[in-house]
């Protein structure tokens, strides 16, 4: 009996006390950011009332047979909405039902895009590698149409009508060819940009530039603001009006923004408190040490050096700016920023809160600080390079086609090349070709406009051993 008691105590200690639950491991800033949204007065990033529970309509659009949660999960996967391990079950990230005037409204939060998985680990502050606003729009519009048929001519009350209409307006925007990314995981900045044209009463340009980018990492945000926000540092960070770009484009009124602006300021400070997660696998420290030397000789002039506090947290530094000619990466993101666009930004109705930085229109790119770079693949601002090792090769040798399906899962993580696994067997190669033919949105094709993998090539003649050591060092950041 005594033994049994001891055994039970041991089991109790292991289960109850020894292993911290996932929720306990999150920092308070992470927890707050996971919950963060700016749905306010019935406006902001949201779906139509009740849509998340209208399985019948969802099934009509995406197929499938079971009218249960798995259907919703299938839809969420199509949209790129992630699941994270919760205390007892996994939870959808960045989408939730909010009650507004007796209606249940599906609201999208910041972490739908600004958190994601890498090597199976859920991380707040890296971009969601699979988020697909264009798919959300396409499905959203079609689900609405089915719902309309199902409900016949039932009269909607004004609140329901308004919520439905504002959601549809956003969904239509997401499918507009001028604001629709070609591939999952990319978000066109023209989506936010369109708001400035709307406010000026000007037509949205059809010049073919969309500026599709991956969702950037948030680590070191406060220091980044010293140059400016976004891939080209176009946005002034104080006051932090730009960070709710997706909210204003979703139809929140400028008046709403002014009312809740103190919460936006708070969000900006939360973002600045995040720390990068460390590499979850073994690192060869001898090689990393050698790689550090190569990095300091070859890369540090743009990407800086890396230092840490006594507790291991990084000392963040201001990133450097690089003219596009000296880096040579895809220009679509910069081409989007025309002088016409800059003029529209200057005259926007929130111009006291949303301002241009000194770098606006200068055609320079931020050389990103590389904290947690192991988790931030595919690389470059347009996510065109699947692994770090590929980034160190000339563009001609980088993959022209790759799959970002399940990009954040453990089985898609390549520890040697650091980033996405490529096709290993003939079958996998054939699958890739088949998915390309079927125009699957998880196929990244570098021949598409804005998706070129060119540039960042000045360092490609390093010996292979140096490149391998560099990759090992980058795991430590
Ligand atoms: C639809 C996906 C999406 C959602 C939702 C979203 N963002 Fe972003 N965010 C982006 C993209 C894409 C960029 C990069 C744009 C660029 O570089 O041109 C970005 C950039 C940022 C940046 C600047 C980072 C940097 O490196 O300069 C901040 C801060 C930010 N978002 C905050 C937020 C907040 C706060 C919310 C919630 C209100 C939010 N975002 C919601 C996609 C999203
Ligand atoms: C001349 C300045 C410069 C040098 C030198 C340089 N880089 Fe970069 N690097 C940049 C710029 C600018 C970008 C962003 C380009 C883009 O996204 O279009 C970038 C992007 C990257 C990225 C992708 C970041 C992301 O979030 O996807 C990685 C990784 C990287 N560099 C690593 C290196 C390494 C390793 C070296 C040394 C071998 C190096 N860089 C040398 C300027 C430089």
Instruction: Tell me the pLDDT tens digit for each residue of 357-392.
Output: 999 999 999 999 999 999 999 999 999 999 999 999
Region label for 372, one of left (φ > 0), alpha (ψ between -120 and 50) or beta (otherwise): left
What is the C-alpha separation between 355 and 347, in angstroms, rounded?
10
Nearest residue CA, atom 25 of ligand 1? 230
Q: Is the pLDDT of residue 128 over 50?
A: yes
What is the C-alpha separation between 176 and 205, in angstroms, rounded?
12
Half-sphere exposure of 128 (CA within 13 A, CB side): 24
Q: Cα of 468 to ligand 2 centre, how many Å?
A: 16
| Contacts for 77 with CB less than 8 Å, ≥ 6 apart | none
Nearest-ligand number for the alpha carbon of 109: 1
Mean pLDDT of the chain: 90
Region label for 323, one of left (φ > 0), alpha (ψ between -120 and 50) or beta (otherwise): beta
CA-nearest of 139, 330, 355 to 233 is: 355
Contact status, residue 463 vs residue 362, Cβ threshold 8 Å: no
The pLDDT of residue 81: 93
Question: Mutate which of 245, 337, 353, 371 to test ligand 1's pocket (most atoms within 8 Å of Cβ)?
Answer: 245
Q: Cα of 392 to ligand 1 centre, how many Å?
A: 27
Nearest-ligand number for the alpha carbon of 252: 1
Q: Is the pLDDT of residue 20 over 70?
A: no
The pLDDT of residue 25: 79
CA-nearest of 370, 397, 371, 368 to 385 is: 397
Contact status, residue 412 vs residue 418, Cβ threshold 8 Å: no
Residues above pLDDT 90, as percent of the chain: 78
Q: Cα of 189 to ligand 2 centre, how many Å?
A: 21
Question: Mutate which of 36, 116, 216 to test ligand 1's pocket (most atoms within 8 Å of Cβ)?
Answer: 216
Cis peptide before 378 (omega within 30 of 0): yes
Q: Cα of 182 to ligand 1 centre, how many Å?
A: 19
The pLDDT of residue 3: 52
Q: Cα of 192 to ligand 1 centre, how many Å?
A: 10
Half-sphere exposure of 430 (CA within 13 A, CB side): 3
Q: Is the pLDDT of residue 22 over 90?
A: no
Q: Average pLDDT in the 192-212 region? A: 96
Contact status, residue 102 vs residue 67, Cβ threshold 8 Å: no
- Overall size of the chain counted in residues: 477
Nearest-ligand number for the alpha carbon of 215: 1
Q: Is the pLDDT of residue 146 over 80?
A: yes
Nearest residue CA, atom 41 of ligand 1? 110
Contact status, residue 185 vs residue 132, Cβ threshold 8 Å: yes
Q: Average pLDDT in the 193-207 region? A: 96
Q: Cα of 342 to ligand 1 centre, how many Å?
A: 19
Nearest residue CA, atom 28 of ligand 1? 243
């Amino acid at each position: 009996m005594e033994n049994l008691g001891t055994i039970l105590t041991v089991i109790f200690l292991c289960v109850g006390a020894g292993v911290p639950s996932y929720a306990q491991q999150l920092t308070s800033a992470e927890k707050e950011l996971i919950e963060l949204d700016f749905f306010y007065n019935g406006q902001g990033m949201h779906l139509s009332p009740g849509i998340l529970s209208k399985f019948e309509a969802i099934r009509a659009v995406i197929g499938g047979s079971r009218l249960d949660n798995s259907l919703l999960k299938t839809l969420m996967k199509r949209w790129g909405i992630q699941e994270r391990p919760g205390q007892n079950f996994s939870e959808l990230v960045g989408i939730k039902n909010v009650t507004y005037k007796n209606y249940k409204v599906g609201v999208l939060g910041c972490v739908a895009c600004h958190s994601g998985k890498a090597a199976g680990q859920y991380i707040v502050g890296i971009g969601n590698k699979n988020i697909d606003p264009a798919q959300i729009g396409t499905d959203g519009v079609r689900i609405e149409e089915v719902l309309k048929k199902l409900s016949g001519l039932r009269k909607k009350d004004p609140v329901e009508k308004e919520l439905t209409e504002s959601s549809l307006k956003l969904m239509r925007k997401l499918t507009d060819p001028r604001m629709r990314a070609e591939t999952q995981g990319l978000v066109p900045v023209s989506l936010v940009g369109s708001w400035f044209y709307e406010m000026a009463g000007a037509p949205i340009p059809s010049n073919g530039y969309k500026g599709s980018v991956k969702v950037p990492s948030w680590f070191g945000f406060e220091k980044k603001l010293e140059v400016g926000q976004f891939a080209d540092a176009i946005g002034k960070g104080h006051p932090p009006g730009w960070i709710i770009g997706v909210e204003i484009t979703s139809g929140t009124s400028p008046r709403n923004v002014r009312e809740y602006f103190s919460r936006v300021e708070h969000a900006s400070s939360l973002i600045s408190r995040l720390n990068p997660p460390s590499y979850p696998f073994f690192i060869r420290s001898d090689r990393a040490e050698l790689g550090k030397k190569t990095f300091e000789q070859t890369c540090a002039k743009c990407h800086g050096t890396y230092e840490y506090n006594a507790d291991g947290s990084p000392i963040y530094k201001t990133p450097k700016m690089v003219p596009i000619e000296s880096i040579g990466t895809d220009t679509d993101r910069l081409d989007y920023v025309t002088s016409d666009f800059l003029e529209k930004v200057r005259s926007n109705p929130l111009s006291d809160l949303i301002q241009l930085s000194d770098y606006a229109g200068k055609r320079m790119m931020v050389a990103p600080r590389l904290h947690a770079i192991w988790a931030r693949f595919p690389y470059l601002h347009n996510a065109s390079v699947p692994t770090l090792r590929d980034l160190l090769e000339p563009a001609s040798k980088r993959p022209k086609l790759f799959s970002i399906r399940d990009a954040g899962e453990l089985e898609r993580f390549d520890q040697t090349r650091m980033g996405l696994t490529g096709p290993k067997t003939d079958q996998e190669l054939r699958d890739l070709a088949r998915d390309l033919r079927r125009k699957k949105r998880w196929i990244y094709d570098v021949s598409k406009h804005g998706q070129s993998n060119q540039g960042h090539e000045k360092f490609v003649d390093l010996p292979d051993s140096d490149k391998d050591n560099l990759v090992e060092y980058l795991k430590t950041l």
